[in-house]
Amino acid sequence: AMAAEDHKVGFEATTSSIKDMFTTLNAAYDGKRDRKALIIASDRGFRVSVANQERSMYAVAYLDSGMFSKFVCAPAAGASDVRLKVSLHALLQCMTVFGSGVKLESTMMRFAYSDETALVTLHLHENRCTTECEIATFDVTEEDDDEGDDDEGGDAGSARGFGSRLATRGAGAPASAPASASAPAAAGAAAGAAAGAATASKRPRFEKDPTANAWFLATPHTEAGLEAARRQLAAEWEAQQEAIKKQKIEVTYSYWDGSGHRRRMMVPKGATISKFLDWVREDLLKDFPEMRGTSSGDLLFIKEDLIIPGNCSFYDLIASKARGKSGPLFTFAAQDEVRVVDDARVEREDSHPGKVVQRHWYDKNKHVFPASRWELYDPTVNYAERYRVKG
């Protein structure tokens, strides 16, 4: 005979197909991820009950021991069953680890529980694949025990579950045997209480493993390091952009007063159109006396038939690879007029010199070609959709 201290409380059930078991348990599942199932294992099989907190939903599923090719139940001394509470969602997820549907029919499983570890173990095998899942259990409360005993029916059910109920109360909530209980039953209940207290002390504690490599987890130290790296990269990028803005480019423009007067000027990429027009006015003063009474605000810069706003910079046009109606806005080399050598509706990869005109000239001649084609530049408009590239 096995000594009392060597008696292991738990159960083990083996089946060659988990389809029937999964279907039965899934019928009692309402889809709530936090739903817990009370499992009562006895010689007759499993009784699985699920209830919500308000007790407005209560489902019970029975799994007969005949469903399994092997079924062993070893309750605690003085008890007729083994009781535990487990996450039904986790249990169903583990059962379908190889897939659902047809996979359930060919999946074999060993379903076991040991009171020493307080873990439910599922050893699954399908085709040539094998895996093992362990699910932590929850404490069975007195209310859970009463719920299970009520369903058994009558005084006999209460007598069968008495030792287990007493064991789950623990040392903090002692209970005495009823007057109708016999001496052996009281002794069994006491043994069950001792076993329950031992089980409670053996329940595993889940905490961080100090040996685990957790380099990928966010910590205050790593977050500070990442933030510092981000600031450094942002500063480097800003410095690179400032260096680019200081680079000079040659801009070919044509002062347009009905005829073109082409000129060239070196300007930094970061200069705005407004600042560029200031320099243009100073450059034109010696050859065009009418510029003396004109400010840069009275001048317009037209590039590829688009009037470029004064707050826009050459850097903005270059960085965004902006395109106009008749060519790119990000290059400023001199080419022939597109309307002279080709179809104005066809966009070319060549860039054409920008025009500088006085605002009052444009207001008087905007109904006349070429001013009739000009319109204000809008960076949100894709002009390439309207003007195809010649090729």
Please give the chain's pLDDT, 391 residues, in tens.
Answer: 334 445 688 999 999 999 999 988 888 887 888 888 999 999 999 999 888 776 677 888 899 999 899 999 999 888 889 999 999 999 999 999 988 887 888 899 999 999 889 999 999 998 888 999 999 999 888 777 666 555 554 433 333 333 333 333 333 433 333 334 444 444 454 445 454 544 445 566 667 677 877 666 666 667 777 788 889 999 999 999 999 999 988 888 888 887 778 888 899 988 899 899 889 888 888 888 888 878 878 899 888 888 888 888 888 888 888 887 777 877 776 554 444 444 444 444 556 788 888 888 888 888 888 888 888 888 888 776 665 545 4
Q: Which part of the chain is CATH 3.10.150.10?
A: 9-138
What are the phi and psi torsion angles at 308 (to 5°)? -85, 125
At the top level of CATH, the class of 248-335+350-376 is alpha beta
Q: Are 322 and 329 in contact (CB under 8 A)?
A: yes
Q: What is the b/e burial string over 322-340, where b = at least 16 CB atoms within 10 angstroms of the residue's CB?
A: bbbbbbbbbebebeeebee
Q: Residue 182 has what pLDDT?
A: 44
Pick from 164, 176, 165, 169: which is nearest to 200 by CA? 169
Q: Residue 175 has what pLDDT?
A: 37
Start-end of H helices in the chain: 19-27, 88-95, 102-105, 142-152, 154-169, 183-202, 220-246, 273-284, 314-319, 338-341, 359-365
Q: Residue type at 302? A: I
Could you give the CA distance from residue 117 to residue 224 in angstroms, rounded to a whole number? Answer: 40
Q: Are 115 and 73 in contact (CB under 8 A)?
A: no
For residue 201, what are the contacts with CB-CB under 8 A and spacing of at least 6?
Answer: none
Could you give the CA distance from residue 293 to residue 291 in angstroms, rounded to a whole number? Answer: 5
Q: What is the pTM of this model?
A: 0.39
* CATH code, 9-138: 3.10.150.10
The pLDDT tens digits of the residues spanning 183-194 come to 444 445 444 545
Q: Which two tokens stand for residue 1?
A: 């005979």
Q: Residue 122 has what pLDDT?
A: 94
Q: Residue 91 has what pLDDT?
A: 92
Q: Which part of the chain is CATH 3.10.20.90?
A: 248-335+350-376
